[in-house]
Structure 1
Amino acid sequence: MTELPERFETVYKALDRTDLLAAPVAAALAGWSGPTASDSFFVVDSDPAVADTAAFCERYGAHMEESANCVVVRAKKGADYHLAACMTLAHRRLDVNGAVRRHLGARKASFAPMDVTVEETGMEYGGITPLGLPSSWPVLIDAAVVEVPYVLLGSGRRRGKLLAPGKALAELPGAQVVEGLAQDLAP
């Protein structure tokens, strides 16, 4: 394990504190069958007022390079819309109109509206995570995310953050690791 969990006063095994997880996230971890053990996932309690990644990192001394954002994208193929999740490290920008759109084979891709995101995921906006998403959704993960030993990500709630082995995210249902899904933000 890296030093990331030690940055927090108290770190719990995620399955020991399902009260800090959205119901679909807790269910996904309880039914976890990937090669990475489910007890490799941790959770920290946090102030929901600082759930947004930049505010969280500033408040708790975490690094953007070890934090990931998960966003829901709505891709239009013909007359139909399909949802997908996309993950990138917090210091990178997701290429929705280029890499994401092309990878999904869509004519148009954009961030899904907040109400659609909340309804379809069963999670709180500001805490969206790839764990517990509908199994039919593609989960596009920027290749840089899986290289991080432990990545900080949403818990499905605004309160609490998961600490997950980066490589475990590639084990999620529908996961596709994609090179060039995001680019570094300009300094």
Structure 2
Amino acid sequence: MGTFTLGSLRSVPVGGRPDLVSPEVAAALEALGLGEEVGVVEIDPELSDTAATQAAYDLPEDALANCVIVSGRREGEQRIAACLVLATTRADVNNTVKRRLDVRKASFLAREDAVTLTGMEFGAITPIGLPAGWPVFVDRAVLDAPLIVIGSGLRRTKLLLAGSSLTSIPGVEIIDGLGQPIAP
């Protein structure tokens, strides 16, 4: 089932090519039994950023989703969450995420920390295979997408999957309005 075609991308099931995703992603997909339902496709790593991927592979802009790692502190304790929103929006870090984490101020986790804690390459972080206990905030619009393109943990590949399959990921919280329109 993980064979999808979107734009000029044609995926193969991750279960048959676990070498194309980070070890954390491969282990998580195997544990969830999703290895055959999620597709993976090789791309030029220089084109891994969302806008470049969309242009190079002729993808509809509402089929790409971005995962960002956000943190804040409460009583000396660091609280971390992943946020997944469509690429046409930005995660509402200053309001929605801050309230969900119950912190005074939320901000993007430093690049080095995000890479170290997730075990994934920067620009390829995905909500699949994150450390246990991290909440994963997903905008409802991502779930409603019939097919989305997200990171794979490696900049040289992307995952293709039905938005609805994200509900299988531990810690997922569906949030209406998490993704806010990008101001012109």
Q: TM-score category by the smaller chain?
A: over 0.9
2:104 corresponds, among 99, 103, 107, to 107
Q: State yes or no: 1:49 paired with 2:46.
A: yes
Tell me what 1:167 maps to: 164
Tell me what 2:18 maps to: 18
- Whether the aligned pair in 2 keeps the contact of 1:13 and 1:42 (CA below 8 Å) is yes
Q: CA deviation at 1:166?
A: 0.4
TM-score by length of 2: 0.94
- Whether the aligned pair in 1 keeps the contact of 2:74 and 2:102 (CA below 8 Å) is yes
Tell me what 1:147 maps to: 144
Segments ≥4 residues shifted beyond 4 Å: none
- 1:41-86 deviation digits (Å, cap 9, x = unpaired): 0011100001111111111111220110001001211222121100
- Whether the aligned pair in 2 keeps the contact of 1:78 and 1:107 (CA below 8 Å) is no
Amino acid at match of 2:77: D
- Whether the aligned pair in 1 keeps the contact of 2:140 and 2:174 (CA below 8 Å) is yes
Helix, strand or coil for the counterpart of 1:127?
coil
- Whether the aligned pair in 2 keeps the contact of 1:143 and 1:177 (CA below 8 Å) is yes
Q: CA deviation at 1:120?
A: 0.4
Amino acid at match of 2:182: L
Q: CA deviation at 1:30?
A: 1.1
Tell me what 1:8 maps to: 8
Deviation larger for 44-53 or 70-79: 70-79
Helix, strand or coil for the counterpart of 1:83?
strand
Helix, strand or coil for the counterpart of 1:71?
strand
Tell me what 1:130 maps to: 127
Tell me what 2:80 maps to: 83
% identity of equivalent residues: 42
- Whether the aligned pair in 2 keeps the contact of 1:87 and 1:142 (CA below 8 Å) is yes
Helix, strand or coil for the counterpart of 1:167?
helix
- 1:14-35 deviation digits (Å, cap 9, x = unpaired): 11111210010011111114xx
Helix, strand or coil for the counterpart of 2:168?
coil
Distance 1:159 1:53 in 2: 13
Q: Is there any run of 5+ residues in structure 1 with no aligned partner, and where?
A: none
Q: 1:10 to 1:66 in 2, by over 3 A?
A: closer
Q: CA deviation at 1:9?
A: 5.1
Q: CA deviation at 1:104?
A: 1.5
Tell me what 2:61 maps to: 64
Distance 1:110 1:158 in 2: 23
- Whether the aligned pair in 1 keeps the contact of 2:79 and 2:101 (CA below 8 Å) is no
Q: 1:149 to 1:10 in 2, by over 3 A?
A: closer
Q: Is there any run of 5+ residues in structure 2 with no aligned partner, and where?
A: none
1:181 corresponds, among 171, 178, 183, to 178
State how many pairs are aligned. Answer: 183
Tell me what 1:93 maps to: 90
